[in-house]
Amino acid sequence: MMNLTNHATPARHPRGTSIQLTLTSLILLCVSLIAATGVAYRLLDRSGRAKVTEPTVKAAISKAPTDSNANQVGPWGELVTLDIDIEQPAEYVSFAAADQNEATWTFTGTSEAQARTLMLDAGMTAAQVSEAMAEGKVENTAEAIIVKPGDDLVIALPPEVREKFYAVLAQWPENKLMREPYHLQSDQFEEVFTKNGVAPGTIAQLRKLAYLRGGNLYFSDLGAVIHGLPSEAARIDLLRSLTYQSAVLARLKIGPDTDVDKMLGYWGTVPGVHVKDLRPLVESITHTAEGGTISLVYFLPAFARERLYTFPLPPKPGEKVKDCHWSALNFLNEEPDDKLLDNAYASAYVQKNFYPIGKPSQCGDLIFLLDAKGEVIHSAVHIAGDIAFTKNGANYAQPWIFMRMGKLLKVYSSGSSAPKALYYRRNSS
């Protein structure tokens, strides 16, 4: 049996996210998501997402091979791409900078003795547990044991202990950054922080506090680092770096010789994309002497068109976070279906509406990435050529973007082992 898991939440916990695919039935999906805090209305557009401001997208040719930006020609037309970096704007991340209070570990529905046992089982020493549970650091409520360990203890945890212990804490939504950690780019770790002016000492501390989960590199101890930074500007530089993503801008090149019928035949199969609306615009470009390019956004269904290159807002208390699975399963829906946040509903939805294929060849084909254990650790959507639509994680610092499949596979690789990809297509496609 292969388990598809959102590694922001341990699969072993009954509240956890697990989408399972069996070799006989081929697919069984579950989606679970999380809760956090709200944010100011001035950052909202009418759809409830953060506005993308000019500093958000910093276009720069990637250090990928020189042919990575070469035009890709296929039934979709001639695809023109540009590798870019995308980060949250400074005015948006400032909310996270101002919201870093003292670190807390919340053990919901446990006793102090049980909390101690969980710490010890994760590999903490008896002295560390005693320090965490010292007088004045523990609040015992009817619902939970709340521990305020202090930054020194947080920083002192060994990587293997942090990895195991934070997987335990992630089962409770109150531990927001364990449940929704920052997803770091391990192959560009130094470069990402250095280019934004993060001090070498801070980068070294981030490296020490980063941990692995499902083969991916994560970071949860924002407060412990933020509290040691000398200025608001330094805090903003760090937070913007933590939201860094490699993305792709994509356009279609159209000229007098473009086979309009063939191109529209590819995009016209996408639910919600209407050839009658696209043809006048496309044909008008073919009538120009030198042709031109048009954004791929025009050829996407409404769900992706409204979200591409935007950052979701922090969820309100009690509201579940929309992660990669929710995003992929809703890609072709005219209206987002939040019932897909329910495990049983999501499983039935996939079984009813999708079937497995050998490789993606239509816009809207689902992509599931599996780790070495057969657990599906990510969901994305095929667009055209090597371009996929993706949201890398449940953390609201992760935007909806276009990404090259090679880069996406690298992000979700464990060491030298790349994830296996499975593909599915909607029955009506």
Q: Does residue 371 share a domain with residue 306?
A: yes
Q: What is the mean pLDDT of each run of 10 residues along the chain (429 residues)?
A: 39 34 36 28 33 33 42 93 83 60 90 96 97 94 94 94 93 85 81 90 94 82 90 87 88 95 95 92 93 94 94 76 89 91 77 93 94 83 96 82 91 74 89
Q: What's residue 56's pLDDT?
A: 35
Let me know if 313 is exposed, middle or buried by CB neighbors in 10 A (0-12, 13-18, 19+).
Answer: buried
Residue 154 lies in a domain: yes
Q: Does residue 150 share a domain with residue 82?
A: no
Q: Does residue 221 share a domain with residue 122?
A: yes
Q: Does residue 64 share a domain with residue 124?
A: no
At 197, give phi and psi (nearest 5°): 85, 15
Q: What's residue 362's pLDDT?
A: 95
Q: How far apart are CA 152 and CA 58, in angstroms?
A: 36
Alpha carbons within 13 A on the beta-carbon side of 300: 25
In tens, the pLDDT along 81-138 reads: 999 988 877 666 765 555 556 889 999 999 999 999 999 999 999 999 999 999 999 9
Last residue of a domain, one of 220, 242, 264: 242
Alpha carbons within 13 A on the beta-carbon side of 203: 16
The total of structural domains in the chain comes to: 2
Q: How far apart are CA 143 and CA 145, in angstroms?
A: 7
At 67, give phi and psi (nearest 5°): -85, 0
In tens, the pLDDT along 323-361 reads: 888 999 999 999 999 888 776 787 788 889 999 999 999
> Domain range for residue 227?
95-242
Q: Does residue 6 share a domain with residue 81?
A: yes
Residue 264 lies in a domain: no
User: To 5 degrees, how large is the angle CA 371–CA 374–CA 377?
Assistant: 45
Last residue of a domain, one of 242, 259, 278: 242
Question: What is the three-class DSSP state of 73?
Answer: strand
Quote the pTM value.
0.70
